[in-house]
């Protein structure tokens, strides 16, 4: 790469909201003591520039890359069902085979009604550093009538996956005395079967955990202690103590009650959950016994400091507390809504934290990855040394237009992050090349894996160039009827060729060919009148960087 080109390429990545320099961050004392360089850690990156949503996913492109694993409307089932994977991909759960980080099962929730779970059987091809999907299974929930709005979930210490229903719809279609939806459901990812707890040949939902608008579930390594929260309804934070390790079908349920005299403390108050009537009505019983309303709490996670962390979607707060058994202490609003300064390498910019903080996930270095639902829909990383008085956050991802990132989980070695992009706009047309070399458009729900470049794909300079160029090109409106605008934004002066091709590859219009100054340049595009419904390709070449965007002309 020439010095001139490299300078332009780095500038382009900064303009695109990508990384420009490597920076060692969040290296734990253990890693430092072992001499392990932080540059190998998935949480080592410089923030992308806050831009809001664009037509594609933006991550730190100098240090990280991604690979598409599954896409709604495209990925076909190969086991347990026929047809195509549905949309609204949400929580992802990677369960390694025998603890492996290179082969296993990836469960993907679908937040629909009826809901669903797809399970990918996949492995890492070490020769190419690419993930290979070997089979795609659809979980059959008909023995339990159905699931509804499978939102978040959790992975158990014994290797099963729990999917959670964020629904309080009523109905008892099978007449078993339990409302059909509003529960946690445990699945064996190997067989794709729902767990049968009483051995009667009929699978069961986790009735004793209570019925509510469930978000995630967090199960302790003691195989007994469980935390969960309700998004709306009671807006409570719950703890469950199982009667037997590794069996969550029976136990005692509690809700967190914050002290009115000392708001840094609280207590666990028992919620009745022994009868079907109790279990069907958890969301009304919990407030009745004094459960605190935390304004739509969502994800609850175990912190590396021994504390519990949970989100308040309604206020944008990440809370944490220390569980003392029957009481809690050190309740603290650890991250609150404010303008945070984001250092993206070539400068800094204020970005509103906003509300809608949804999923939380810790990596192996103690970084807390926080995914937003609503507002800018950013994916943030809160560093271990963050405090309310001295904030330390970085911005890892801006999501494709119309989407939110959901359900991030890591491989056991924390080299790979699995995450979904839920409901991106069908009008997104930006084409980017992933780590496997395939062209990707984020115009439907998708599930991806991301990692540092040394662990994922053999990304060529050409691939990186295409990703940089894609960030310089924008077409709006798209679709259009008679005319649209093509916008090119350059970080530095460069030779540019901007053409419009038909789907047979013929050039139908050259919008620009020459040396283009730095800055934003807009061109009007008006294909032949009366063309009706027609697809075109807008192709941009900046030096050796190339990008292509599909556009659609309609007659309506």
pLDDT in tens, the chain (556 residues): 433 333 333 333 333 333 222 222 232 333 322 333 466 899 999 999 999 999 999 999 889 999 999 999 999 999 888 999 999 999 999 999 999 999 999 999 999 999 999 999 999 999 999 999 999 999 999 999 999 999 999 999 999 999 999 999 999 999 999 999 999 999 999 999 999 998 899 999 999 999 999 999 999 999 999 999 999 999 999 999 999 999 999 999 999 999 999 999 999 999 999 999 999 999 999 999 999 999 999 999 999 999 999 999 999 999 999 999 999 999 999 999 999 999 998 889 999 999 999 999 999 999 999 999 988 999 999 999 999 999 999 999 999 999 999 999 999 999 999 999 999 999 999 999 999 999 999 999 999 999 999 999 975 555 555 556 666 888 888 888 888 999 999 888 889 999 998 766 788 899 999 999 989 999 999 886 545 567 788 889 898 777 778 787 876 6
Torsion of CA 395, 381, 43, 403, to 10 degrees: -60
Give the C-alpha separation, 183 to 212, whole Å: 7
Taking a C-beta distance cutoff of 8 angstroms, is the pair 312, 229 a contact?
Answer: no
CATH topology of 3-468 equal to that of 473-553? no
Token pair for 235: 């807006």
Segments of 412-518 assigned E as strands: 417-422, 432-433, 439-440, 446-452, 473-476, 484-490, 494-502, 507-516
Nearest partner of 551 among 484, 451, 472, 492, judged by Cα: 484
CB proximity list for 96: less than 8 A, separation 6 or greater: 102, 103, 104, 411, 412
Max CA separation in the chain (angstroms): 76
Architecture of the domain made up of 473-553: Sandwich (2.60)
Token pair for 87: 């949309």
Taking a C-beta distance cutoff of 8 angstroms, is the pair 26, 366 a contact?
Answer: yes
Enumerate the domain spans of the chain. 3-468, 473-553
DSSP run (H or E) holding 193: strand 193-194
Size of the chain, expressed as the number of residues it contains:
556
C-alpha neighbours within 13 Å on the C-beta side of residue 390 = 4
Distance between alpha carbon 129 and the CA centroid of its chain, in Å?
A: 22
Taking a C-beta distance cutoff of 8 angstroms, is the pair 447, 92 a contact?
Answer: yes
Note the pLDDT of residue 539.
Answer: 87
Taking a C-beta distance cutoff of 8 angstroms, is the pair 371, 379 a contact?
Answer: yes
Note the pLDDT of residue 26.
Answer: 31
Domain 3-468 has CATH 2.130.10.10: yes
**Which one-letter DSSP state was computed for residue 556?**
-
**Which one-letter DSSP state was computed for residue 40?**
G
- CA angle, residues 380, 383, 385, in degrees to nearest 5: 150
Nearest partner of 437 among 409, 466, 412, judged by Cα: 466
Segments of 100-173 assigned E as strands: 103-110, 116-125, 130-138, 150-155, 161-165
Nearest partner of 25 among 396, 352, 334, judged by Cα: 396
C-alpha neighbours within 13 Å on the C-beta side of residue 194 = 26
* Sign of the C-alpha dihedral computed for residues 512, 431, 528 and 478 taken in this order: negative
Note the pLDDT of residue 459.
Answer: 56
Taking a C-beta distance cutoff of 8 angstroms, is the pair 412, 101 a contact?
Answer: yes
DSSP run (H or E) holding 429: none
Note the pLDDT of residue 550.
Answer: 76
Buried-state track 417-427, b at ≥16 Cβ within 10 A, e below 16: bbbbbbbbeee
Give the C-alpha separation, 233 to 299, whole Å: 15
Which residue, chain included where needed, has tokens 């069908």? 426
The phi, psi pair for 212, rounded to 5°, reads: -170, 180
3-state secondary structure 206-267: CHHHCCCEEEEEEECCCCCEEEEEECCCCCCEEEEEEEECCEEEEEEEEEEEECCCCCCCEE
Torsion of CA 92, 98, 103, 109, to 10 degrees: -20
Is 171 exposed, middle or buried, given 0-12, 13-18 or 19+ CB atoms closer than 10 A? exposed
Token pair for 200: 């009667």
The phi, psi pair for 200, rounded to 5°, reads: -95, 10
Residue 35 burial (CB count, 10 A): 6
Buried-state track 330-357, b at ≥16 Cβ within 10 A, e below 16: ebbebbebeebebebbbeebebebbbbb
pTM higher than 0.85 for the full model? Answer: no
DSSP run (H or E) holding 334: strand 327-335
């Amino acid at each position: 790469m020439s010095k001139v080109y490299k300078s332009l390429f780095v500038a382009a990545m900064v303009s695109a909201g990508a990384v420009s320099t490597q920076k060692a961050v969040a290296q734990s004392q253990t890693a430092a003591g072992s001499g392990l360089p932080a540059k190998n850690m998935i949480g080592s990156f410089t923030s992308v520039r806050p831009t809001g949503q664009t037509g594609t996913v933006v991550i730190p492109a100098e240090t990280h890359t991604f690979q598409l694993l599954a896409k709604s409307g495209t990925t076909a089932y190969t086991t347990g069902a026929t047809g195509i994977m549905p949309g609204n991909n949400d929580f992802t759960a990677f369960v390694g085979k025998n603890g492996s980080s290179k082969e296993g099962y990836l469960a993907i929730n679908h937040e629909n009604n009826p809901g669903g779970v797809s399970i990918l059987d996949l492995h890492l091809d070490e020769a190419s550093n690419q993930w290979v999907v070997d089979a795609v299974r659809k979980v059959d929930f008909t023995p339990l009538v159905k699931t509804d709005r499978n939102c978040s979930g959790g992975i158990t210490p014994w290797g099963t996956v729990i999917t959670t229903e964020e629904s309080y719809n009523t109905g008892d279609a099978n007449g078993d005395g339990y409302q059909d939806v509003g529960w946690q459901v445990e699945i064996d990812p190997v067989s794709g079967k729902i767990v049968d707890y009483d051995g009667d040949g009929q699978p069961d939902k986790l009735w004793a955990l209570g019925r509510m608008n469930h978000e995630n579930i967090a199960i302790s390594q003691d195989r007994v202690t469980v935390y969960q929260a309700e998004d709306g309804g009671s807006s409570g934070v719950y703890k469950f103590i199982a009667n037997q390790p590794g069996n969550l079908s029976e136990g005692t349920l509690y809700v967190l009650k914050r002290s009115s005299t000392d708001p840094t403390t609280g207590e666990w108050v028992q919620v009745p959950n022994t009868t079907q009537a109790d279990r069907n009505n958890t969301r009304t019983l919990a407030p009745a016994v004094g459960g605190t309303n935390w304004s739509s709490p969502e994800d609850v996670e175990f912190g590396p400091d021994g504390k519990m962390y949970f989100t308040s979607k309604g206020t944008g707060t990440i809370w944490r507390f220390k569980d003392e058994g029957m009481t809690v202490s050190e309740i603290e609003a650890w991250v609150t809504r404010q303008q945070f300064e984001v250092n993206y390498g070539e400068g800094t910019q204020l970005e509103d934290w906003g509300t809608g903080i949804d999923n939380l996930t810790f990596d192996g270095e103690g970084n807390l990855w926080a995914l937003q639902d609503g507002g800018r829909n950013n994916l943030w990383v809160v560093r271990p040394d963050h405090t309310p008085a001295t904030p330390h956050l970085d911005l890892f991802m801006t999501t494709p237009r119309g989407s939110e990132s959901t359900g991030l989980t890591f491989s056991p070695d924390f080299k790979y992050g699995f995450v979904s992009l839920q409901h991106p706009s069908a009008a997104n047309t930006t084409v980017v090349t992933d780590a496997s070399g395939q062209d990707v458009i984020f115009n439907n729900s998708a599930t991806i894996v991301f990692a540092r470049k040394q662990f994922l794909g053999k990304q060529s300079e050409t691939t990186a160039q295409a990703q940089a160029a894609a960030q310089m090109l924008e077409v709006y409106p798209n679709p259009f009827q008679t005319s649209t605008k093509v916008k090119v934004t350059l970080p530095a002066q460069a030779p540019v060729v901007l053409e419009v091709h038909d789907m047979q590859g013929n050039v139908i219009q050259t919008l620009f060919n020459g040396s283009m100054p730095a800055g934003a340049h807009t061109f009007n595009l008006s294909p032949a009148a009366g063309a009706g419904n027609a697809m075109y390709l807008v192709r941009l070449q900046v030096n050796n960087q190339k990008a292509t965007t599909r556009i659609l002309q309609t007659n309506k």
